[in-house]
Amino acid sequence: MTGPRHLLRAGLACLLLALLLVPLGGCGTDIARSAACERFLSVLEPGYARIESLRWRHHEGTLNPEDTLNNVRGEYRLTGSGLTRWIRCDFAAEAQEDGSFALTRLETDREGVFSPVQRHMLFLALRLAGPAPDRPASPWQPAAYFLQQLLNALTVASPYALLAVGFTLIYGIIGRINFAFGEMAMLGAYVTVLLAVLVGEAGGALGGALNNPLLLLGLLIAVMAITGLYGWQTERLVFRPLRHSPSHAVLIAAIGLSIFLQEGVRLVQGTRDRWLQPVFTGRYRIADSGDFAVYASLGQLILIATASLLLAVLLTLLARHRIGRAIRACGEDARMTALLGVNVNRTVALCFAIGSAYAAAAGLLLALYYGGVNFHMGFLIGFKALAAAIIGGIGSVPGAILGALVVGMLETFWSAYFTGAYKDVSVFALLAVILIFRPHGLLGRPPGRGD
Protein backbone atom coordinates (compact mmCIF):
# COMPACT_ATOMS: atom_id res chain seq x y z
CA MET A 1 0.00 0.00 0.00
CA THR A 2 1.18 3.54 -0.64
CA GLY A 3 1.53 6.29 1.96
CA PRO A 4 -1.37 8.66 2.65
CA ARG A 5 0.23 11.74 1.08
CA HIS A 6 1.28 9.94 -2.10
CA LEU A 7 -2.13 8.25 -2.23
CA LEU A 8 -4.01 11.52 -1.84
CA ARG A 9 -1.90 13.44 -4.37
CA ALA A 10 -2.16 10.74 -7.04
CA GLY A 11 -5.84 10.30 -6.30
CA LEU A 12 -6.55 14.01 -6.65
CA ALA A 13 -4.65 14.08 -9.94
CA CYS A 14 -6.69 11.16 -11.32
CA LEU A 15 -9.91 12.73 -10.04
CA LEU A 16 -9.06 16.09 -11.62
CA LEU A 17 -8.38 14.39 -14.96
CA ALA A 18 -11.68 12.54 -14.75
CA LEU A 19 -13.67 15.64 -13.80
CA LEU A 20 -12.13 17.63 -16.63
CA LEU A 21 -13.30 15.01 -19.09
CA VAL A 22 -16.74 14.35 -17.55
CA PRO A 23 -18.58 16.66 -19.98
CA LEU A 24 -16.88 15.06 -22.93
CA GLY A 25 -18.35 11.57 -23.32
CA GLY A 26 -18.90 10.11 -26.79
CA CYS A 27 -20.26 7.24 -28.78
CA GLY A 28 -17.81 5.63 -31.16
CA THR A 29 -19.96 2.90 -32.67
CA ASP A 30 -21.95 5.49 -34.69
CA ILE A 31 -18.94 6.42 -36.81
CA ALA A 32 -18.68 3.19 -38.80
CA ARG A 33 -22.46 2.80 -39.10
CA SER A 34 -22.98 6.43 -40.10
CA ALA A 35 -20.30 6.21 -42.79
CA ALA A 36 -21.85 3.01 -44.18
CA CYS A 37 -25.31 4.54 -44.25
CA GLU A 38 -24.10 7.76 -45.88
CA ARG A 39 -22.81 5.80 -48.89
CA PHE A 40 -26.39 5.06 -49.93
CA LEU A 41 -27.11 8.78 -50.30
CA SER A 42 -24.82 9.00 -53.32
CA VAL A 43 -27.31 6.80 -55.20
CA LEU A 44 -30.58 7.84 -53.55
CA GLU A 45 -29.88 11.57 -53.81
CA PRO A 46 -28.76 12.86 -57.25
CA GLY A 47 -27.64 16.05 -55.51
CA TYR A 48 -25.46 14.22 -52.97
CA ALA A 49 -22.57 16.65 -53.50
CA ARG A 50 -24.88 19.48 -52.41
CA ILE A 51 -25.85 17.87 -49.09
CA GLU A 52 -25.48 20.18 -46.12
CA SER A 53 -26.16 19.91 -42.38
CA LEU A 54 -25.97 16.10 -42.30
CA ARG A 55 -26.43 14.93 -38.69
CA TRP A 56 -26.56 11.41 -37.29
CA ARG A 57 -28.25 10.03 -34.18
CA HIS A 58 -29.72 6.81 -32.81
CA HIS A 59 -33.34 6.23 -33.81
CA GLU A 60 -35.41 6.46 -30.62
CA GLY A 61 -38.87 5.28 -29.73
CA THR A 62 -38.43 1.56 -30.35
CA LEU A 63 -39.28 -1.03 -27.72
CA ASN A 64 -36.48 -3.41 -28.75
CA PRO A 65 -33.21 -2.48 -26.96
CA GLU A 66 -31.08 -4.33 -29.50
CA ASP A 67 -32.73 -2.38 -32.32
CA THR A 68 -32.07 0.90 -30.54
CA LEU A 69 -28.37 0.14 -30.09
CA ASN A 70 -27.68 -0.94 -33.68
CA ASN A 71 -29.21 1.66 -35.96
CA VAL A 72 -28.57 5.25 -37.01
CA ARG A 73 -30.78 7.93 -38.50
CA GLY A 74 -29.39 10.76 -40.62
CA GLU A 75 -31.17 14.07 -41.21
CA TYR A 76 -29.96 16.29 -44.05
CA ARG A 77 -30.83 19.09 -46.43
CA LEU A 78 -29.82 19.74 -50.01
CA THR A 79 -28.41 23.16 -50.75
CA GLY A 80 -31.20 25.46 -51.88
CA SER A 81 -34.04 23.22 -50.67
CA GLY A 82 -35.93 24.07 -47.52
CA LEU A 83 -36.95 20.44 -46.85
CA THR A 84 -35.41 18.16 -44.23
CA ARG A 85 -34.90 14.57 -45.40
CA TRP A 86 -33.94 11.52 -43.40
CA ILE A 87 -32.52 8.05 -43.92
CA ARG A 88 -32.43 5.24 -41.37
CA CYS A 89 -30.15 2.18 -41.48
CA ASP A 90 -30.40 -0.85 -39.18
CA PHE A 91 -27.36 -3.10 -38.79
CA ALA A 92 -26.60 -6.51 -37.33
CA ALA A 93 -25.38 -6.43 -33.72
CA GLU A 94 -22.03 -8.09 -34.44
CA ALA A 95 -19.41 -6.74 -36.81
CA GLN A 96 -18.25 -8.89 -39.72
CA GLU A 97 -14.70 -10.17 -40.12
CA ASP A 98 -13.63 -7.05 -42.01
CA GLY A 99 -15.01 -4.81 -39.25
CA SER A 100 -18.09 -3.67 -41.22
CA PHE A 101 -21.72 -4.09 -40.16
CA ALA A 102 -24.28 -6.04 -42.21
CA LEU A 103 -27.30 -3.95 -43.23
CA THR A 104 -30.59 -5.53 -42.12
CA ARG A 105 -33.07 -2.72 -42.87
CA LEU A 106 -33.12 0.52 -44.86
CA GLU A 107 -35.81 3.20 -44.74
CA THR A 108 -36.16 6.76 -46.06
CA ASP A 109 -38.85 9.40 -45.65
CA ARG A 110 -39.73 9.24 -49.38
CA GLU A 111 -39.31 5.56 -50.29
CA GLY A 112 -40.35 3.93 -47.02
CA VAL A 113 -38.85 0.56 -46.09
CA PHE A 114 -36.69 -1.04 -48.80
CA SER A 115 -37.42 -4.69 -49.63
CA PRO A 116 -34.53 -7.20 -49.77
CA VAL A 117 -34.63 -7.01 -53.58
CA GLN A 118 -34.46 -3.21 -53.52
CA ARG A 119 -31.52 -3.34 -51.08
CA HIS A 120 -29.73 -5.77 -53.39
CA MET A 121 -30.29 -3.48 -56.38
CA LEU A 122 -28.99 -0.56 -54.33
CA PHE A 123 -25.79 -2.44 -53.55
CA LEU A 124 -25.35 -3.15 -57.26
CA ALA A 125 -25.88 0.54 -58.05
CA LEU A 126 -23.20 1.45 -55.50
CA ARG A 127 -20.72 -0.88 -57.19
CA LEU A 128 -21.45 0.62 -60.62
CA ALA A 129 -21.35 4.18 -59.31
CA GLY A 130 -17.95 3.74 -57.70
CA PRO A 131 -16.84 5.86 -54.75
CA ALA A 132 -19.11 8.65 -53.60
CA PRO A 133 -18.21 12.20 -54.65
CA ASP A 134 -15.81 13.83 -52.24
CA ARG A 135 -17.16 16.63 -50.12
CA PRO A 136 -14.85 19.33 -48.80
CA ALA A 137 -13.29 18.09 -45.58
CA SER A 138 -12.82 20.41 -42.65
CA PRO A 139 -9.21 20.82 -41.46
CA TRP A 140 -10.53 20.24 -37.95
CA GLN A 141 -12.03 16.82 -38.75
CA PRO A 142 -8.97 14.76 -37.65
CA ALA A 143 -8.83 16.69 -34.38
CA ALA A 144 -12.56 16.20 -33.78
CA TYR A 145 -12.26 12.49 -34.54
CA PHE A 146 -9.31 12.22 -32.14
CA LEU A 147 -11.29 14.04 -29.44
CA GLN A 148 -14.24 11.69 -29.93
CA GLN A 149 -11.99 8.66 -29.45
CA LEU A 150 -10.33 10.23 -26.42
CA LEU A 151 -13.73 10.70 -24.85
CA ASN A 152 -14.83 7.19 -25.77
CA ALA A 153 -11.72 5.89 -24.01
CA LEU A 154 -12.79 7.50 -20.73
CA THR A 155 -16.17 5.79 -21.01
CA VAL A 156 -14.53 2.41 -21.57
CA ALA A 157 -12.02 2.95 -18.75
CA SER A 158 -14.57 3.86 -16.05
CA PRO A 159 -15.88 0.31 -15.30
CA TYR A 160 -12.35 -1.05 -15.70
CA ALA A 161 -11.18 1.34 -12.97
CA LEU A 162 -13.92 0.25 -10.55
CA LEU A 163 -12.97 -3.39 -11.06
CA ALA A 164 -9.22 -2.76 -11.00
CA VAL A 165 -9.35 -1.08 -7.58
CA GLY A 166 -11.13 -4.18 -6.26
CA PHE A 167 -8.30 -6.39 -7.50
CA THR A 168 -5.66 -4.09 -6.05
CA LEU A 169 -7.37 -3.75 -2.65
CA ILE A 170 -7.44 -7.51 -2.12
CA TYR A 171 -3.90 -8.01 -3.36
CA GLY A 172 -2.67 -5.14 -1.19
CA ILE A 173 -4.10 -6.60 2.01
CA ILE A 174 -3.56 -10.38 1.60
CA GLY A 175 -1.04 -10.58 -1.25
CA ARG A 176 -3.35 -12.76 -3.36
CA ILE A 177 -5.45 -12.14 -6.47
CA ASN A 178 -9.17 -12.87 -6.33
CA PHE A 179 -10.00 -14.02 -9.86
CA ALA A 180 -13.72 -13.94 -9.09
CA PHE A 181 -14.06 -10.15 -9.28
CA GLY A 182 -15.17 -10.30 -12.90
CA GLU A 183 -18.00 -12.57 -11.84
CA MET A 184 -18.80 -10.16 -8.98
CA ALA A 185 -19.40 -7.52 -11.67
CA MET A 186 -21.60 -9.98 -13.55
CA LEU A 187 -23.52 -10.69 -10.34
CA GLY A 188 -23.99 -6.96 -9.79
CA ALA A 189 -25.28 -6.59 -13.35
CA TYR A 190 -27.88 -9.32 -12.83
CA VAL A 191 -28.96 -7.83 -9.50
CA THR A 192 -29.33 -4.51 -11.33
CA VAL A 193 -31.59 -6.07 -13.96
CA LEU A 194 -33.75 -7.82 -11.35
CA LEU A 195 -34.13 -4.74 -9.16
CA ALA A 196 -34.72 -2.50 -12.18
CA VAL A 197 -37.54 -4.75 -13.37
CA LEU A 198 -39.09 -4.63 -9.90
CA VAL A 199 -38.78 -0.85 -9.86
CA GLY A 200 -40.36 -0.67 -13.30
CA GLU A 201 -43.26 -2.89 -12.27
CA ALA A 202 -43.85 -0.88 -9.11
CA GLY A 203 -43.44 2.55 -10.67
CA GLY A 204 -44.71 2.18 -14.22
CA ALA A 205 -42.41 2.57 -17.20
CA LEU A 206 -38.92 1.28 -16.49
CA GLY A 207 -37.09 4.06 -18.32
CA GLY A 208 -39.12 6.78 -16.58
CA ALA A 209 -38.58 5.21 -13.16
CA LEU A 210 -34.81 4.89 -13.52
CA ASN A 211 -34.46 8.40 -14.91
CA ASN A 212 -35.38 9.56 -11.41
CA PRO A 213 -32.03 10.44 -9.77
CA LEU A 214 -33.15 9.31 -6.31
CA LEU A 215 -34.31 5.92 -7.59
CA LEU A 216 -31.08 5.52 -9.53
CA LEU A 217 -29.04 6.35 -6.41
CA GLY A 218 -31.11 3.90 -4.38
CA LEU A 219 -30.56 1.21 -7.00
CA LEU A 220 -26.79 1.81 -6.91
CA ILE A 221 -26.70 1.58 -3.10
CA ALA A 222 -28.83 -1.57 -3.07
CA VAL A 223 -26.72 -3.34 -5.72
CA MET A 224 -23.45 -2.42 -3.99
CA ALA A 225 -24.80 -3.49 -0.59
CA ILE A 226 -26.09 -6.88 -1.80
CA THR A 227 -22.94 -7.77 -3.70
CA GLY A 228 -20.71 -6.34 -0.97
CA LEU A 229 -22.40 -8.62 1.56
CA TYR A 230 -21.74 -11.54 -0.77
CA GLY A 231 -18.08 -10.55 -0.97
CA TRP A 232 -17.92 -10.38 2.84
CA GLN A 233 -19.26 -13.93 3.09
CA THR A 234 -16.92 -15.31 0.41
CA GLU A 235 -13.95 -14.03 2.44
CA ARG A 236 -15.22 -15.72 5.60
CA LEU A 237 -16.16 -19.03 3.94
CA VAL A 238 -13.55 -19.40 1.17
CA PHE A 239 -10.48 -17.23 1.67
CA ARG A 240 -10.10 -16.94 5.45
CA PRO A 241 -9.51 -20.69 6.05
CA LEU A 242 -6.84 -20.63 3.30
CA ARG A 243 -5.17 -17.34 4.18
CA HIS A 244 -2.03 -19.00 5.57
CA SER A 245 -2.01 -21.87 3.10
CA PRO A 246 0.37 -22.09 0.11
CA SER A 247 -0.46 -19.64 -2.65
CA HIS A 248 -1.70 -22.35 -5.02
CA ALA A 249 -4.55 -23.23 -2.65
CA VAL A 250 -5.85 -19.66 -2.65
CA LEU A 251 -5.47 -19.44 -6.43
CA ILE A 252 -7.45 -22.66 -6.96
CA ALA A 253 -10.14 -21.46 -4.53
CA ALA A 254 -10.47 -18.14 -6.37
CA ILE A 255 -10.81 -19.89 -9.74
CA GLY A 256 -13.33 -22.31 -8.24
CA LEU A 257 -15.37 -19.41 -6.85
CA SER A 258 -15.34 -17.78 -10.28
CA ILE A 259 -16.64 -20.94 -11.95
CA PHE A 260 -19.22 -21.42 -9.18
CA LEU A 261 -20.65 -17.92 -9.66
CA GLN A 262 -20.69 -18.18 -13.44
CA GLU A 263 -22.32 -21.60 -13.57
CA GLY A 264 -24.74 -20.76 -10.76
CA VAL A 265 -26.07 -17.77 -12.68
CA ARG A 266 -26.23 -19.83 -15.87
CA LEU A 267 -28.33 -22.51 -14.18
CA VAL A 268 -30.66 -20.02 -12.50
CA GLN A 269 -31.02 -17.42 -15.28
CA GLY A 270 -30.28 -19.51 -18.38
CA THR A 271 -27.96 -18.73 -21.27
CA ARG A 272 -30.10 -16.06 -22.95
CA ASP A 273 -29.03 -12.43 -22.72
CA ARG A 274 -31.20 -10.30 -20.46
CA TRP A 275 -32.04 -6.86 -21.82
CA LEU A 276 -33.20 -3.69 -20.17
CA GLN A 277 -35.29 -1.08 -21.91
CA PRO A 278 -32.99 1.86 -22.84
CA VAL A 279 -32.87 4.24 -19.92
CA PHE A 280 -30.58 7.14 -20.89
CA THR A 281 -31.26 8.01 -24.52
CA GLY A 282 -30.42 11.71 -24.62
CA ARG A 283 -27.42 12.89 -26.67
CA TYR A 284 -25.67 16.25 -26.76
CA ARG A 285 -23.44 17.74 -29.43
CA ILE A 286 -20.43 19.29 -27.72
CA ALA A 287 -18.18 20.05 -30.73
CA ASP A 288 -18.57 20.28 -34.49
CA SER A 289 -15.89 20.52 -37.17
CA GLY A 290 -18.45 21.07 -39.95
CA ASP A 291 -18.52 17.52 -41.31
CA PHE A 292 -17.87 15.62 -38.08
CA ALA A 293 -19.67 16.24 -34.80
CA VAL A 294 -18.53 15.09 -31.35
CA TYR A 295 -21.41 13.82 -29.25
CA ALA A 296 -21.90 13.03 -25.57
CA SER A 297 -24.70 10.74 -24.47
CA LEU A 298 -26.52 11.09 -21.17
CA GLY A 299 -25.62 7.49 -20.31
CA GLN A 300 -21.92 8.21 -20.75
CA LEU A 301 -22.07 11.33 -18.61
CA ILE A 302 -23.77 9.40 -15.82
CA LEU A 303 -21.34 6.48 -16.15
CA ILE A 304 -18.25 8.70 -15.99
CA ALA A 305 -19.59 10.90 -13.20
CA THR A 306 -20.66 7.92 -11.06
CA ALA A 307 -17.33 6.14 -11.48
CA SER A 308 -15.41 9.35 -10.71
CA LEU A 309 -17.42 9.97 -7.56
CA LEU A 310 -17.00 6.40 -6.29
CA LEU A 311 -13.25 6.46 -6.94
CA ALA A 312 -12.95 9.82 -5.15
CA VAL A 313 -14.80 8.39 -2.14
CA LEU A 314 -12.49 5.37 -2.04
CA LEU A 315 -9.32 7.48 -2.29
CA THR A 316 -10.57 9.74 0.51
CA LEU A 317 -11.48 6.72 2.64
CA LEU A 318 -8.02 5.18 2.27
CA ALA A 319 -6.18 8.45 2.87
CA ARG A 320 -8.23 10.03 5.68
CA HIS A 321 -10.44 7.53 7.50
CA ARG A 322 -9.37 5.09 10.19
CA ILE A 323 -10.73 2.22 8.09
CA GLY A 324 -8.31 3.21 5.34
CA ARG A 325 -5.44 3.39 7.83
CA ALA A 326 -6.35 -0.08 9.13
CA ILE A 327 -6.44 -1.49 5.58
CA ARG A 328 -3.02 0.00 4.78
CA ALA A 329 -1.58 -1.22 8.08
CA CYS A 330 -2.82 -4.78 7.49
CA GLY A 331 -1.27 -4.67 4.04
CA GLU A 332 2.09 -3.64 5.51
CA ASP A 333 2.26 -6.05 8.47
CA ALA A 334 -0.85 -7.94 9.60
CA ARG A 335 0.77 -9.42 12.74
CA MET A 336 2.00 -6.09 14.06
CA THR A 337 -1.35 -4.53 13.24
CA ALA A 338 -3.10 -7.23 15.29
CA LEU A 339 -0.76 -6.56 18.22
CA LEU A 340 -1.79 -2.89 18.08
CA GLY A 341 -5.43 -3.87 18.63
CA VAL A 342 -6.80 -3.87 15.06
CA ASN A 343 -9.19 -6.70 14.22
CA VAL A 344 -7.38 -8.09 11.16
CA ASN A 345 -10.10 -10.58 10.17
CA ARG A 346 -12.78 -7.92 10.19
CA THR A 347 -10.57 -5.50 8.25
CA VAL A 348 -9.81 -8.08 5.56
CA ALA A 349 -13.50 -9.02 5.30
CA LEU A 350 -14.41 -5.33 5.01
CA CYS A 351 -11.82 -4.96 2.24
CA PHE A 352 -13.43 -7.86 0.35
CA ALA A 353 -16.84 -6.24 0.82
CA ILE A 354 -15.62 -2.88 -0.53
CA GLY A 355 -13.93 -4.50 -3.51
CA SER A 356 -17.04 -6.55 -4.32
CA ALA A 357 -19.27 -3.48 -3.96
CA TYR A 358 -17.12 -1.56 -6.45
CA ALA A 359 -17.20 -4.52 -8.84
CA ALA A 360 -21.00 -4.50 -8.51
CA ALA A 361 -21.03 -0.78 -9.32
CA ALA A 362 -19.10 -1.56 -12.51
CA GLY A 363 -21.69 -4.23 -13.37
CA LEU A 364 -24.55 -1.81 -12.74
CA LEU A 365 -23.03 0.83 -15.02
CA LEU A 366 -22.42 -1.73 -17.76
CA ALA A 367 -25.99 -3.05 -17.49
CA LEU A 368 -27.61 0.39 -17.62
CA TYR A 369 -25.31 1.72 -20.36
CA TYR A 370 -25.21 -1.23 -22.76
CA GLY A 371 -28.62 -2.63 -21.79
CA GLY A 372 -27.74 -6.34 -21.90
CA VAL A 373 -26.20 -8.83 -19.46
CA ASN A 374 -25.23 -12.49 -19.70
CA PHE A 375 -23.64 -15.09 -17.45
CA HIS A 376 -20.19 -14.95 -19.07
CA MET A 377 -19.84 -11.16 -19.31
CA GLY A 378 -17.50 -11.00 -16.31
CA PHE A 379 -14.78 -13.21 -17.78
CA LEU A 380 -13.17 -10.87 -20.30
CA ILE A 381 -13.85 -7.63 -18.47
CA GLY A 382 -12.41 -9.19 -15.32
CA PHE A 383 -9.17 -10.12 -17.06
CA LYS A 384 -8.90 -6.66 -18.64
CA ALA A 385 -9.42 -5.01 -15.26
CA LEU A 386 -6.76 -7.31 -13.78
CA ALA A 387 -4.43 -6.33 -16.62
CA ALA A 388 -5.14 -2.67 -15.81
CA ALA A 389 -4.30 -3.25 -12.14
CA ILE A 390 -1.02 -4.96 -13.04
CA ILE A 391 -0.08 -2.29 -15.59
CA GLY A 392 -0.71 0.48 -13.06
CA GLY A 393 0.99 -1.40 -10.23
CA ILE A 394 -1.12 -3.91 -8.33
CA GLY A 395 -1.35 -2.89 -4.70
CA SER A 396 -1.63 0.82 -5.63
CA VAL A 397 -5.15 2.23 -5.96
CA PRO A 398 -4.05 5.29 -8.00
CA GLY A 399 -2.01 2.87 -10.13
CA ALA A 400 -5.13 0.79 -10.79
CA ILE A 401 -6.99 3.90 -11.95
CA LEU A 402 -4.08 4.91 -14.18
CA GLY A 403 -3.87 1.38 -15.60
CA ALA A 404 -7.59 1.45 -16.41
CA LEU A 405 -7.15 4.71 -18.31
CA VAL A 406 -4.22 3.21 -20.25
CA VAL A 407 -6.20 0.08 -21.16
CA GLY A 408 -9.30 2.07 -22.13
CA MET A 409 -7.31 4.40 -24.36
CA LEU A 410 -5.37 1.58 -25.98
CA GLU A 411 -8.57 -0.35 -26.76
CA THR A 412 -10.39 2.66 -28.14
CA PHE A 413 -7.60 4.12 -30.26
CA TRP A 414 -6.63 0.73 -31.62
CA SER A 415 -10.22 0.15 -32.76
CA ALA A 416 -10.40 3.67 -34.22
CA TYR A 417 -7.16 3.68 -36.20
CA PHE A 418 -6.36 -0.01 -36.75
CA THR A 419 -8.24 -3.32 -37.05
CA GLY A 420 -10.72 -3.59 -34.20
CA ALA A 421 -10.45 -7.38 -34.09
CA TYR A 422 -6.98 -7.09 -32.52
CA LYS A 423 -7.76 -4.60 -29.75
CA ASP A 424 -7.71 -7.30 -27.05
CA VAL A 425 -4.41 -8.59 -28.41
CA SER A 426 -2.95 -5.10 -28.05
CA VAL A 427 -4.02 -4.88 -24.39
CA PHE A 428 -2.44 -8.16 -23.36
CA ALA A 429 0.65 -7.45 -25.49
CA LEU A 430 1.11 -4.23 -23.51
CA LEU A 431 0.70 -6.24 -20.30
CA ALA A 432 3.50 -8.57 -21.41
CA VAL A 433 5.78 -5.61 -22.18
CA ILE A 434 5.08 -4.03 -18.77
CA LEU A 435 5.80 -7.31 -16.98
CA ILE A 436 9.13 -7.64 -18.81
CA PHE A 437 10.47 -4.11 -18.37
CA ARG A 438 8.64 -2.90 -15.23
CA PRO A 439 7.27 -5.91 -13.31
CA HIS A 440 5.97 -3.78 -10.42
CA GLY A 441 3.83 -1.62 -12.78
CA LEU A 442 3.75 2.11 -13.50
CA LEU A 443 3.04 3.29 -9.93
CA GLY A 444 3.81 0.12 -7.98
CA ARG A 445 6.74 -0.19 -5.60
CA PRO A 446 9.49 -2.70 -6.40
CA PRO A 447 9.88 -5.40 -3.73
CA GLY A 448 12.76 -5.46 -1.27
CA ARG A 449 12.50 -1.89 0.04
CA GLY A 450 11.21 -2.50 3.50
CA ASP A 451 7.98 -4.13 2.34
Q: What is the pLDDT of residues 54-85, one digit of tens each?
A: 776 654 444 343 444 567 777 777 776 667 78
Domain presence at residue 443: no
**Number of separate domains in the chain:** 2
pLDDT band with cut points at 50, 70 and 90 for residue 17: very low
Check whether residue 243 and residue 368 sit in a common domain. Answer: yes
Average pLDDT over every residue of 120-136: 67
Task: Report pLDDT for 52.
Answer: 65
Residue 137: is its pLDDT beyond 70? no
Please state which of the ranges 172-186, 266-280, 302-316, 355-369 shows the lowest mean pLDDT. Answer: 266-280
Q: What is the pLDDT of residues 425-434, one digit of tens each?
A: 888 899 999 9
397 compared with 293, residue with greater pLDDT: 397
Task: Report pLDDT for 121.
Answer: 82
Q: How many residues does the chain have?
A: 451
Which of 100, 131, 162 is the last residue in one of the domains?
Answer: 131
Domain presence at residue 451: no
Question: Letter for the amino acid at 70?
Answer: N
Average pLDDT over every residue of 414-442: 87
Residue 333 to residue 342: CA distance in whole angstroms: 11
pLDDT band with cut points at 50, 70 and 90 for residue 28: very low
Task: Report pLDDT for 31.
Answer: 61
Looking at residue 335, which CATH number applies to its domain?
Answer: 1.10.3470
Q: What is the pLDDT of residues 213-229, one digit of tens each?
A: 788 888 999 999 999 99
Residue 41 has φ and ψ, to the nearest 5°, of -65, -25
Check whether residue 166 and residue 259 sit in a common domain. Answer: yes
Check whether residue 45 and residue 168 sit in a common domain. Answer: no
Closest CA to 430 of 392, 399, 395, 400: 392
Burial label, 346 (beta-carbon count in 10 A; 0-12, 13-18, 19+): exposed
Average pLDDT over every residue of 356-360: 95
Residue 418: is its pLDDT beyond 90? no
Average pLDDT over every residue of 166-187: 91
Residue 338 to residue 412: CA distance in whole angstroms: 45
Buried b (16+ CB within 10 A) or exposed e, 1-10: bbeeeebbeb
Please state which of the ranges 17-26, 177-186, 205-214 shows the lowest mean pLDDT. Answer: 17-26
Residue 195: is its pLDDT beyond 80? yes
306 compared with 91, residue with greater pLDDT: 306
Check whether residue 122 and residue 151 sit in a common domain. Answer: no
98 compared with 242, residue with greater pLDDT: 242
Closest CA to 190 of 65, 377, 335, 44: 377
Domain presence at residue 34: no
Check whether residue 83 and residue 227 sit in a common domain. Answer: no
Task: Report pLDDT for 25.
Answer: 35
Task: Report pLDDT for 81.
Answer: 65
Residue 144 to residue 416: CA distance in whole angstroms: 13
Check whether residue 189 and residue 267 sit in a common domain. Answer: yes
User: What average pLDDT is seen over the chain?
Assistant: 80
Average pLDDT over every residue of 405-416: 90
> Are 229 and 188 a contacting pair, CB within 8 Å?
no
Domain presence at residue 239: yes
The DSSP bridge partners found for residue 406 are none
Check whether residue 307 and residue 389 sit in a common domain. Answer: yes
Check whether residue 166 and residue 299 sit in a common domain. Answer: yes
Average pLDDT over every residue of 198-212: 63
pLDDT band with cut points at 50, 70 and 90 for residue 450: very low
pLDDT band with cut points at 50, 70 and 90 for residue 169: very high
> Are 182 and 163 a contacting pair, CB within 8 Å?
yes
Residue 276 to residue 338: CA distance in whole angstroms: 47
12 compared with 168, residue with greater pLDDT: 168
Task: Report pLDDT for 60.
Answer: 46
Which of 84, 110, 131 is the last residue in one of the domains?
Answer: 131
Residue 159: is its pLDDT beyond 90? yes
Check whether residue 166 and residue 48 sit in a common domain. Answer: no
Domain encompassing residue 291: 4-27+143-437
Domain presence at residue 442: no
Check whether residue 227 and residue 368 sit in a common domain. Answer: yes
Percent of the chain with pLDDT over 90: 31
Residue 24: is its pLDDT beyond 50? no
Check whether residue 115 and residue 238 sit in a common domain. Answer: no
Task: Report pLDDT for 275.
Answer: 82
Average pLDDT over every residue of 26-49: 67
Which of 131, 163, 186 is the last residue in one of the domains?
Answer: 131
Domain presence at residue 138: no
Buried b (16+ CB within 10 A) or exposed e, 263-279: eebeeebeeeebbbbbb
Domain presence at residue 397: yes
Distance of CA 210 to the CA centre of its chain: 19
Residue 4: is its pLDDT beyond 60? no
Residue 233: is its pLDDT beyond 80? yes
Check whether residue 241 and residue 96 sit in a common domain. Answer: no
Domain presence at residue 363: yes
Under 8 Å CB-to-CB from 41, ≥6 apart: which residues? Answer: 48, 51, 74, 76, 87, 132
